[in-house]
């Protein structure tokens, strides 16, 4: 069964810390992996898309890595800020699934002052 798991479910860090969010998937046959941010009661905002042939992608303070062979991706947030507080979702586009994304349940991040 193709699944996506995110650990931890929740995380609280003081402002300024660097942090890593983890995502694991069960099948290495993927097209791509996408990281999203979701604020309470809102839709999803795309943060980074990593194609299956890529090892990492960077956008500002965010860096996402992909290791297909081990079925893992990490989202690294540098110098965290209170505005980074949100739920972060990882989604995998498995091959042969007609562009359907399989989502993890997310990591709820709180950055405190």
Residues that bind other proteins (CB under 8 A): 4, 31-32, 34, 36, 41-46, 49, 51-52, 89, 91, 93, 95, 98-101, 103-106
The least distance separating other proteins from the CB of residue 22, rounded to whole angstroms, comes to 15
Residue 74's CB is within 10 A of a number of other CB atoms, namely 17
Spatial contact of 23 and 73, defined as CB atoms under 8 Å apart: yes
d(CA 63, CA 67): 14
DSSP 8-state code for residue 57: E
Half-sphere exposure of 9 (CA within 13 A, CB side): 1
The nearer residue to other proteins, 54 or 63, going by C-beta atoms, is: 54
For the CB of residue 111, give the shortest distance to other proteins in the complex, in Å: 22
Q: Least CB distance from residue 94 to other proteins, whole Å? A: 11
Q: Which residue's CB is nearer to other proteins, number 47 or number 80?
A: 47
């Amino acid at each position: 069964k193709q699944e996506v798991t995110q650990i931890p479910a929740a995380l609280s860090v003081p402002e300024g810390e660097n942090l890593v969010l983890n995502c694991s998937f069960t099948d290495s046959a993927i097209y791509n992996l996408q990281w999203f941010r979701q604020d309470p009661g809102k839709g999803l905002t795309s943060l980074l898309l990593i194609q299956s042939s890529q090892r990492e992608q960077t956008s500002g303070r965010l860096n996402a890595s992909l290791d297909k062979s081990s079925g893992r991706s990490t989202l690294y947030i540098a110098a965290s800020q209170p505005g980074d507080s949100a739920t972060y979702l990882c989604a995998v586009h498995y091959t042969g699934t007609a562009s359907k994304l399989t989502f993890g349940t997310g990591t709820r991040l709180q950055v405190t002052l």
